[in-house]
Amino acid sequence: MIQALCVLGAALSVGVGVAAEMPRIPVLTEEVPPHVVLRGDTVTGPTTEWVRAIVKRAGLQPDIQVRAWKAVVQLAERPEPVLIYPIVRTPEREAAYQWVARLTTGRSYLYRLAARDDIRIAKLADARRYQTAAVRKDVRTEYLLNNGFTGGPDGSLVETTDNAESLRLLKLGRVDLVPIAPAALEATCAKLGIGTDEFVRTIPTGLTMDFYLAANKAVPADVVERLASAQRQLAAEGAYQQIMGALAN
């Protein structure tokens, strides 16, 4: 394993000019529509296609791997060179990664079932009275915990694998609220085959999320610069707006 990692690191540093010989680099992500969508064995979505374009322009072959977010974070902590997206840049995470390029910005809201008009929330502190489902190791979960929500069996926060699991729990009435961005709600509902009209937006969480493509510390600095340069080149050519569409901002 150590030898394989050294070979990969050396290949990334040297780089090659022929597409067939491009060194492969693991790109870790979770399924989070509309950014990352699994269709059979194919990983797609506007943000995924933008990341794929950046990595290829930098002379690398992206090996995109979809996992639960907790596993993504754990794998990125290992000494193997990997990229990770879409990850929210926060002060707490700043030193843990090399930040390659901002992908998009999003805002999340607390949603309830449309039938649950007994849930009344005027501010975030009010939501602590209810059960909220949020993705394990996700920035929204960290944000809620930092704002008085409690975890554990008797806490107000239920940690889930992904947005789809959170919405399933909400639909089943096992939790009362879910923090999610409107675009992610729409895409996840489409994946689950349920209508967005079953859910009602309450209040904004107050969290603005800048999503990034990041590299772990094992990726050589010159490779990070190649990736950043590739992003700038593609953006100057107008590819960002073309690929990202409505998610471009």
Round to whole Å and give the CA distance between 68 and 160.
10
In this structure, which amino acid lies at residue 245? G
If you write DSSP's letter for every residue of 170-207 in order, what string do you get? HHTTS-SBEEE-HHHHHHHHHHHT--GGGEEEEEEEEE
pLDDT at 11: 56
Name the most confidently modeled range: 53-57, 151-155, 183-187: 53-57
For residue 3, the model assigns a pLDDT of 40
91 and 43 inside one domain: yes
Query: Is residue 21 located within the same domain as residue 143?
Result: no
Q: Are residues 7 and 94 in the same domain?
A: yes
Question: Does 192 score more than 70 pLDDT?
Answer: yes
User: What integer best gives the mean pLDDT of the chain?
Assistant: 92
Residues 67 and 186 in one domain: no
pLDDT of amino acid 20 = 53
| Total of domains in the chain | 2
Coil/strand/helix, residue 92: coil
How would residue 22 be classed by pLDDT, with cut points 50, 70 and 90?
A: confident
Question: pLDDT, tens digit, for every residue of 83-112?
Answer: 999 999 999 999 999 999 999 999 999 999
Give the model's pLDDT for residue 152: 85
Q: Residue 183: is its pLDDT beyond 80? A: yes
Examine the domain organization and report whether 175 and 234 are in the same domain: no
Q: Which band of pLDDT confidence, cut at 50, 70 and 90, is reported for residue 4?
A: very low
> What CATH number corresponds to the domain at position 202?
3.40.190.10
Three-state secondary-structure class, residue 36: strand
Q: Are residues 110 and 202 in the same domain?
A: yes
Residue 211's pLDDT is what? 97
Question: How many percent of the chain have pLDDT more than 70?
Answer: 92
Q: Is the pLDDT of residue 205 over 50?
A: yes
Same structural domain, 133 and 66: no
Q: What is the DSSP string of 62-89?
A: EEEEE--HHHHHHHHTSSS--EEEEEE-
* Domain co-membership, 64 together with 114: no
Domain that holds residue 134: 106-208
Choice among 4-8, 26-30, 204-208, 213-217 with the minimum mean pLDDT: 4-8
Q: Beta 24-29 vs 83-88: how paired, if at all?
A: parallel
* pLDDT for 18: 44
Q: What is the pLDDT of residue 2?
A: 36
Q: Are residues 87 and 117 in the same domain?
A: no
Q: Confidence class of residue 7 from pLDDT cuts 50, 70 and 90?
A: very low
Residue 16 has pLDDT above 90, yes or no: no
Q: Are residues 149 and 237 in the same domain?
A: no
Over residues 26-73, the pLDDT tens digits come to 999 999 999 999 999 899 999 999 999 999 999 999 999 999 999 999
Res 17: pLDDT = 45
